Structure 1
Amino acid sequence: MKAGQFFSGKDVRIKQVQKPIPKKDEALIKVSSAGICGTDMMIFFGKHPRAEAPLIMGHEFSGIIDSINGVSDFTVGDRVVIEPTISCGKCPACEAGQMHVCQELKLIGIDMDGGFAEYVTVPINRLHRVPKELSLSVAALAEPLAVAVHTVRRSSLKIGENVAILGAGPIGLLIGMIAKLNGANNIFISDISPYRLEKAKDLGLHPINAGEKDVVDGILSYTNGKLIDTVFEVAGTETTLEQTVKLIKTQGKIVVVSVFKNRPLIDLTSMHFNEISLTTTRCYSKDDFRTAIDIMAGGKVDISAVISHQLKIEEIEKGFSLMGEPDKSLKILIQP
């Protein structure tokens, strides 16, 4: 079968590899669509601490069951989307039912071969049915949408609150969609990419071009100086982290979504005197994943708006190149 394999920094190539055979309690999936995400880019640049070459990346993907090795309610031909997290089931987090923060958490497409291939094997218990209302290409985005669902839940967002999102990549835009769905009032979103900010405007968000104006001043000019109830940091820079503290109201909440590569500085003194809550978010629970599918199937958000390209697997190198150009791309789907 064809597969897009990662070999070393900036080296992803199409190779002919052996079609996998499902082990006990696994299903063989004929992949329909697989999204390139920021984590894949980290692997691509050789900066992911766990990913080891050669590796077939791709943890956001949908497809059709080709075969099943085990007892299951699923059948050959079912359309499915894959929840890629693999938990140990034994650590304190797992025993407490918080499988998504397992101490030994692994992901399909990072710790084992994933969806940038014609076929992939996955545990049966990682499968979710795709409702008939959903195309398989849109269903592939259940994973990033689940991240947004989990993030907004972690924020305890209340109806009518003003929100700021720092970073207008796919996750930032999806957080904006879910915040809007949950009753947020004004939703501001900043970035340096005019292309992504235009997408944000189309989605009913208030875009702030960080390359043209001070983000804090720009947002507070809209609110007549009123500080923000909840701020989501989704860019992963010290600049945006500093902006969160300047934007947040007394007793407001900052939610850090980014995974910082280096230890950042943050103004804890200001946070202390204003009783600011700081929370973080990682992955999603099974319930978040199911909720994401239900939201898409119900047409409650236009998730297709974040899809900028759909490429054949032979174009995977082009896909990774486009991902490095935020003025030209958002979510890129690879379709074997």
Structure 2
Amino acid sequence: MSDARGAAHNEPILVTRRQAETARFCFLGEFGYEIISWIPYLLYLKRTLGLKLRTLSRPGSSLFYAFSEDHREAPASLIGGVWGEPASYDRLRRRFRSTRLIHPGPDMINKRRIRVEGVEWTTRDIHRPIAETNYVRPDLSAVEAWSPIPGRPLVVLNNKYFVQWPGTFDAPVNYFDRASLVALRDLLVQRGYGVAYNHFVEKTAVDEHRRLDDEGIFGLDAATYDLRSRYAETTCPADRNRLQISVYNAADFVIGPQGGNLYLPAVCRRPIFLLMRAGEYVDYRELGRLYGVAVEAFYEPRHLLNWLGSTLPWRSEAPRTIWRRTEGAADEPHVVTDASIHASVIDARERGGRDIGSAGRAEPIRR
């Protein structure tokens, strides 16, 4: 038995405790929607009502559903866009004929109402402020941090190359090309960072991936690392997910193009600096607020490079003053020494505030 027809007609789904514990809560859509909207609701049901939930999601998703009494993984061929395609949920009925499947509806701004024991799923639009009603933020800090570049503070540089919004664009729009990758690598290494390059391709039923010329840039020396070499050694999606989280947990900050690749770093409470030629900035502003991390967005790689060049101190230089902007306060001078070299970027993680974030762009370093 499935609620696919209810999804198609946006009918409300009213579920009792007994029904919830015999049903299976399913998600076959984009990871960003899952980690920002769906999992926080299920966590709330688990922690406040003490429900014994059964769940189903993408390959390798068990790590995110540790709270589930019985978690199953669907094949990659069923994983679609946004909240998931109704046809994919329909196909699950063949495997779970005697089980009620509870899942999101098909709309971009999800109109489907799911209410379990009177507790409603409320975060059905991730492109607006998140009220955190019936919502528990995921915590991935238990995954042990691992850096492939010991001895240097770590930056993770994400990338992707597939067609987004095919009705609007006929080619990838949010990505770093080869020249930008080389420039970012050189700048970050010059400033004393180690750079882990993360171009991970998740197989889905809808994404049209293209080939990007990004081989032979990272992993040629001790200051850089290409995570694809480590992915090649993993045997299952769960290992790849754990690897990504462990590297994010070790990073000082994460750079990447707009998209779901930057949701997980925010959940790991790492500052994120994103390239966004197209997309919704409110998504990342809300992630910064929810997880207390710095967020900066740039239209083009050159804007990001200019900002990093004027913001990241040189590790070898004598103490100098940068200008820090804090919410509700005027710019204040802050002396940077080699021992506190990363304070302008990651101090937000330790203090729960934002030095460089949605409150406004940090002013360039005053030399």
- The bucket for the TM-score relative to the shorter chain is 0.3 to 0.5
Using the size of structure 1 for normalisation, the TM-score is 0.33
Give the greater-gyration-radius structure (CA). Answer: 2
Using the size of structure 2 for normalisation, the TM-score is 0.31
Larger fraction in strand: 1
